[in-house]
Structure 1
Amino acid sequence: MNTPITPWLKLAIPFVLPALLAAVSLHATEPFETRKPTRELQTQLLEVNPNWSERMPDQSALASLRSVDDEVALIQTHFRLVLDQLMAANVDDLTESQSEERARNIERLREYTLAGVFPQNVFVAGRRPVFIDPWGTHCAVGHLIATSGHPQLARLIDREHRLDVLGRIETDGLTEWQLASGLRVQELALIQPHYEFRNNSQTIQYPTEVESLILGDSAEILEALKSGKLTVNNRCGGKTLLHFAAASGDLELVKHLVDLGADLHAVSTRGCDESEIAKGGRYKRFEVRWNASTEVTPGKRYADGGRVYETVQGSFVADVLQDFFGGMVGKNALHYATAEPRMAKLGHSKHLYYSNGFQHRIGNRDASTNPLDSLKEGRAAVATWLQEQGLSEGGLE
């Protein structure tokens, strides 16, 4: 039996139905690739700071943005959206001095965003705030506090509440700073990002002989040369044995390789290119192989960084070799003996705890000693000897 249409519904249909059809049509014609990244970006923003749940920008503000895989770009996107809200906020209730300081803090945050240098969460899995990381990099709120003339307050907050959200920080002096800053508590809470755990995001594996050399033991290389398993002309990840020996600061091995006929002229080739690196996805596993290109495959999010990254010396030498970037092109042994390490893309290496005079306890290690001293002395000795043989970074003179 058909249900009769009530009179009021008959009157409403001519007005309601076109509106419903227009709404459905608008959503249906919106490209999926436009809508999907917006939803993904919203999820990413909520991971960076849960306070976005109450302050999420509308669709029009996010329409031109895309979800991002790079952590730095994601944090910068977060800050740019925060800056938009700070600039649009009604601040009629602020005093003149508060308004002036607010403007200065907004400019400080803008410069901080552009610089793109953010703290590293090497403490806990998942995402957590990090007020100041072990290398002295301040979070955004810590940066605003320190650069507005209160670096001691920033350090005190870090000692008492390094991994806490702003609402749990009770350090004396913070409330007074906030009142003078021109920024509301809710705004500061929105500024404060949660940083992704990035200590073990890439894994690299070398042949055992090379790994031992990077870690400071040349015995396996010498045995492989003696047995004929290796020759001085073998390459690994585009580098010769002489390159590895120079990077590791092993002068005796460098001399031995030259005596065996190693080519002082030899320069490195790339182990793999960006297209190969991209095959690994966000979390990568690198296998650096003898006489073949480096193989890159998907890795585990929190997998171990690899045997060479378990020690301070190993991480320094591995960062000099740059195999996480596919290696280097056209570099000779002198370059490897003198090159500064290039930090892996996803996380800080252990050797940075000892860089630039900063010493930090790792496990039970005596923080008063620097395990890089002997390595750097060895590398300097290698560089001097290579120069005495007439080698320059541009080749033999």
Structure 2
Amino acid sequence: MKKNFSSTRVSTDVACFLGFLGGGGAERVILNLTTGFVNRGLNVDLVLANTGSPHLWQVPPEVNIVDLKARKLSSSLPALVGYLRRVRPPALLSTLHYTNEIAIAAKYFARVDTRVVVREANQLSLDVGQSKAWKKRAIPWFVRYLYPLADGVVTVSRGVAEDLSRVCGLPLEKIQVIYNPTITPDLGIKAEETLNHPWFEPGQPPVILAVGKLQAQKDFPTLIRAFARVRERTAARLMILGWGPDRSQLEALVEELGLQEDVALPDHVANPYAYMKRSTVFVLSSAWEGLPNVLIEAMAVGIPVVSTDCKSGPSEILKEGEYGLLIPVGNPQAMAEAILTVLSGSSRAIAPDWLEQFSLDYAVNKYLEILQVT
């Protein structure tokens, strides 16, 4: 267990606020940014509504963890107000809902000069539209009234920026696009780590890989149906790394299609990059995204990619299809044909400087600019 828990810090250059340190992409981005900030010699606070997380070991030891001790996110507002009044960090970065809204409101109630920047990570209209929960469907209303009070609004892609502007009426010129700091110095090192799995031994059929939470957004049923078509024409295997609520439905579909011997769902793994490095093709089957980190990671380790042309992110990442195959959303036949094209040996070279915009150093520079931290 980490020892760097505190309620205050003598000097803080930048604070990052999360409700809970989960294992998702947004939390991974914040962890990467905190690493980048401390590498620039900055004092960083990671402010959490509560610290009941198994992922705290991933926080860099130089980062000061501030536990607001809130039983739930909604009750963290008074504690965050108190933190801002005591510490008065020059800048506060937050991500996710309702963390962003609480951060903006906390500055208002604390009456401090802290510069609050909020980060929007997904297509708000699609994300909210898929939910029946009233709390989630109320997000656009809160965003419409609170985001204009933020000192800065960041989105992870142009598509997310356009969607946010359209849904919430925020002018595009008030939104800055900063791609995720996905490519970190240790990514290549992790990709080369030993992987003990029989599917990746010499002489085995090629592995088609997907990574993501097992939920509707990722549309893994389309991928499984596409794989059934691929297997009719060539020997191959499909591996989906991830956890989530749709596991039982996906397992039932695999059984229904008779694919049990060639499809694996091994749950979440600590190092997906070793699997990426040894797979033949990476597939993103999502129905919608903000900016899919896994697609960038797969490109960074050198695996050919196939992706749905969903809103938003993949077309930006793949330079409108120049660096990977883009296919329609929810079309298993098109997905199967694209996978077969890659399995036949066809791939697209990526310009060496293209991936730089997704690197940690590039993102840190952009975030420090909008946070106005030097």
Would the TM-score normalized by the shorter structure come out above 0.5?
Answer: no
The TM-score, its normalising length taken from structure 2, stands at: 0.29
The TM-score, its normalising length taken from structure 1, stands at: 0.28
Larger radius of gyration: 1
Determine which structure has the larger strand proportion and give its number: 2
Determine which structure has the larger helix proportion and give its number: 1
